[in-house]
Structure 1
Amino acid sequence: MLGLPKGEVYLIPWTNEWVTEFRNESEKIKFELGELVLAVHHIGSTAVKNLSAKPIIDIAIELNDYQRGIQCIEGLKRLGYEYKGTNILPERYYFSKGEPRTHQIHMFQTNNLYMKKQLAFRDFLQNDSEALNGYQALKEKLSSTHYSDKITYSHAKTDFINTILKNLGFN
């Protein structure tokens, strides 16, 4: 099951279908964008086995040159993505797909700090069951109290995430 309607926050249990969906979408992106793309990464909670998540596949596209992101817009539109701009996070192109939204693309230049943090947090949760269980409990609590407020839900996870990232050497 994929798709999260605007204004809603709910979690569904992790499913291997998310891995398959990411792989399929990644192949389409690589075929469409070709040499513009250095790598395509599965990020966010759908990338972490056994972690409940909002049913949206988060994808990070890594570019050799950030300026080449402009050249990716038309190709991603052909795949059904809507370009949302660069003003939400610095040095990131953002795209979404579907209504309800099923996929999000975060496009960065290689070695972007935000992308490194996303990958490090994902990898840490995949390898630390105590942190995974703690994050799962926090997400369940927050999704039940902030079921109609995505921004508050996201911000309320920040301290947990930042504590782990600090322990991993990110400041």
Structure 2
Amino acid sequence: MSKIEILEYQPCWPREFQEIKDKLSMLLGALAVQIDHIGSTAVPELAAKDIIDIQVSVKALDDPKIIELMVAAGYVFKEGINQDNLVGYQAGDSELMKLYFREAEGGRAAHIHVREIGRVNQQYPLLFRDFLRENEEIKQAYGKVKYELAQRFANDIEAYYAIKDPYMDTLFYAANLLKKKSDN
């Protein structure tokens, strides 16, 4: 991977997401229950890497048509990236399973995560995104953490994520606790 670079929020990110979403919607049809803009580019005024993160929620992750259609359209399937990591869950837990694709050659840089609807890893990025959208100080703190990590570990993606991921998990669990309290 090239150098980790964090950019200030770009107003074009929502439009770029919508363009990719439209293509995925046409491609996957009813296989895609919903397609969401996730990650930092989905949070107004949050600094981010210039990569559009997308979550495609499906009913059944093991439907072979998903991979067939995506690969036939030129998306790059990363077979070795088939689960997320989340503190409190073991590797191989079905709650963390996913399919992962990158953009087609020459396409807009994108991470496309296909996850089964209702699983914890499908709910995580939506709750995380919404929590940042609704909490200005937490969003600013998260942006600062990302800038600092990118400066200190610009050429070491493993170190960058070794610190960033547990920080994100902490925010997810805090958001989840607040959601449960507000639901009661």
Instruction: Give the TM-score, by structure 2 length.
Output: 0.82
Q: 2:17 is aligned with what amino acid?
A: F
Asked whether the 8 Å contact 2:100–2:111 carries over to 1, the reply is: yes
Higher RCO (Cα < 8 Å, 6 or more apart): 1
* 1:51-82 superposed Cα distances (whole Å, 9 cap, x missing partner): 111111111000011222x2122322244310
Distance 1:159 1:104 in 2: 20
Structure 1 spans left out of the alignment, 5+ residues: 1-5
The 1:60/1:163 distance shift into structure 2, 3 A limit, reads same
Task: Measure how far apart 1:86 and its partner are.
Answer: 5.5
Distance 2:106 2:16 in 1: 17
Distance 1:138 1:132 in 2: 10
Answering whether residue 78 of structure 2 is matched by residue 84 of structure 1, we say: yes
- Which has the higher mean CA deviation after the structures are superposed, 76-85 or 8-17? 76-85
| Percent identical residues | 27
SS in 2 for 1:31: helix
Distance 2:137 2:16 in 1: 27
Task: Measure how far apart 1:118 and its partner are.
Answer: 1.0
Question: Which residue does 1:122 correspond to in 2?
Answer: 129
Asked whether the 8 Å contact 2:36–2:54 carries over to 1, the reply is: yes
Q: 2:162 is aligned with what amino acid?
A: H
Answering whether residue 43 of structure 2 is matched by residue 36 of structure 1, we say: no
Distance 1:24 1:100 in 2: 11
Question: Which residue does 1:3 correspond to in 2?
Answer: none
Q: Please give the root-mean-square deviation of Cα atoms over the aligned residues, in Å.
A: 1.9
* 1:126-166 superposed Cα distances (whole Å, 9 cap, x missing partner): 01000011001111110001101122112211342222222
Task: Measure how far apart 1:112 and its partner are.
Answer: 1.4
* 1:89-117 superposed Cα distances (whole Å, 9 cap, x missing partner): 14100101247970111101101101211
Instruction: Give the TM-score, by structure 1 length.
Output: 0.88
Distance 1:166 1:103 in 2: 26
Asked whether the 8 Å contact 1:86–1:93 carries over to 2, the reply is: no
Question: Which residue does 1:160 correspond to in 2?
Answer: 167
Task: Measure how far apart 1:8 and its partner are.
Answer: 1.8
Q: 1:93 is aligned with what amino acid?
A: L
Structure 1 runs (4+) deviating above 4 angstroms are 98-101
Answering whether residue 116 of structure 2 is matched by residue 109 of structure 1, we say: yes
Distance 1:46 1:154 in 2: 17
Task: Measure how far apart 1:169 and its partner are.
Answer: 3.0
Question: Which residue does 2:86 correspond to in 1?
Answer: none
Distance 1:99 1:9 in 2: 20
SS in 2 for 1:38: strand
Distance 1:86 1:67 in 2: 15
Q: 1:143 is aligned with what amino acid?
A: A
Q: 1:146 is aligned with what amino acid?
A: F
